[in-house]
Amino acid sequence: MARVMDNRPADGKTNFSTSYIREQPLQVSSAPVGEIPPAFADLNQSIRDLFTKNYHIGFAKVDIKTVTANGVQIRGIGQQDIGSEAPRAFGSLEHKYVQRSYGLTLIERWSTDNMVTMEASVEDKFLAGAKATFLAGLSAQTGKRNAALKFAYKRPFIHLTTDVDLDFAGPVVRSSAVSSYNGVRIGGNVVVDTAKSAITRYNLALGMGGPRYTLHAGTTHFRDFEMGVYNRVDPNLEVGFQSNFSTTGGNTLLALGAKYDIDPTASVKAKLDTVGQLGVSYTQELRKGVKLTLSTLINGANLSGGGHRYGFGLEVDV
């Protein structure tokens, strides 16, 4: 709160004095310097979530999360195939510890296929916006080992990533770059197999993004193409469109999707494509931290012939 010294003379006229004292400094607001774009893999995240998230098709999944008293985050996942001739069960357990003062994150994962993975990352300590991650995995059943290094650098207008699989036969390098300005984003991704001394994959993408919409177009080898549109019509309704086609032939796939929040605890999703598949998903919060999702995929091209699939998911956050 400001305190002004009153130096007005007795006649009431204003004395233009410089005696103006503030007990606290003026608050100066800084204008944003620019958008930090998402990584290349996340350029169409909102579109992908609309068509894939909470669609548990063909399996039942239980996802449990909790945090211990000393801040260790624990996550357990159990998954069982439904309706397949050779159903497979899978489970994993993850421990995550974050030391924010050092920018350090440690993650340990163990899965029922006897795969143990360790991950350590450091962020924003050596360089602002930079993150370095080391991963190491061991298969207790086969004895196979793998390791990888990941680097990411993000600042306003640019996001760079490089992943290196440390294979003794020849590392595989994956690099990407995304630049953005005024909501317009352009990016590329390339995969280099050093054992073959060849580029095995490259992608390009162009799009626009904002708080309520996303436009995305991408290509792989200038042979396979994808396009997508996402729009949050209002706080309760999201709609989207996506298309995939290839110059080498095959059917062009078009799909429409939507999500509607019935209330703060329930939402329903639906999607329909040109193949005749209709997907429906319903999510209900049973209580705080507990969500149940029921999903189905109906083969509309042959309603009486079967081929319909279903699944469910249970998320528990305690």
pLDDT higher than 50, residue 21 = no
The pLDDT value given to residue 142 = 85
Rounded average pLDDT over 181-189: 94
Residue at 280 is within a domain: yes
For a pLDDT cut of 90, what percent of the chain falls above it?
71
pLDDT higher than 80, residue 26 = no
* pLDDT tens for each residue of 83-120: 777 788 999 999 999 998 889 999 999 999 899 999 99
* pLDDT tens for each residue of 124-167: 998 999 999 999 999 988 888 899 999 999 999 999 999 999 88
Residue at 26 is within a domain: no
pLDDT higher than 70, residue 17 = no
Residue at 30 is within a domain: no
The pLDDT value given to residue 220 = 95
Cα 252 to Cα 173, 224, 246, 273: the distances in Å are 31, 11, 7, 10
Task: Identify the CATH number of the domain in which residue 225 sits.
Answer: 2.40.160.10
For a pLDDT cut of 70, what percent of the chain falls above it?
90
Higher-pLDDT residue of 203 and 170 is: 203
Nearest to 35 by CA among 160, 180, 161: 180
Number of domains observed in the structure of the chain: 1
Q: Which domain holds residue 189?
A: 35-317
Residue at 17 is within a domain: no
pTM for this predicted structure = 0.82
The pLDDT value given to residue 266 = 97
Residue at 21 is within a domain: no
Cα–Cα distance, 60 to 65 (Å, whole number): 17
Cα–Cα distance, 159 to 35 (Å, whole number): 10
The pLDDT value given to residue 15 = 44
Nearest to 61 by CA among 88, 81, 75: 81
How many CB atoms are located within 10 Å of the residue 211 CB?
7
Rounded average pLDDT over 297-312: 85
* pLDDT tens for each residue of 207-237: 998 889 999 999 999 999 999 999 999 999 9
The pLDDT value given to residue 33 = 63
How many CB atoms are located within 10 Å of the residue 283 CB?
21
pLDDT higher than 90, residue 251 = no
The pLDDT value given to residue 294 = 97
The pLDDT value given to residue 18 = 39
The band of 68, judged by pLDDT with boundaries at 50, 70 and 90, is: very high
Judged on CB neighbours under 10 Å (0-12, 13-18, 19+), 315 is: middle
pLDDT higher than 60, residue 199 = yes
Residue at 20 is within a domain: no
The answer to which of 12-16, 60-64, 198-202 has the lowest mean pLDDT is: 12-16
Residue at 24 is within a domain: no
The pLDDT value given to residue 274 = 93
* pLDDT tens for each residue of 37-66: 999 999 999 999 999 999 999 999 999 999
Residue at 27 is within a domain: no
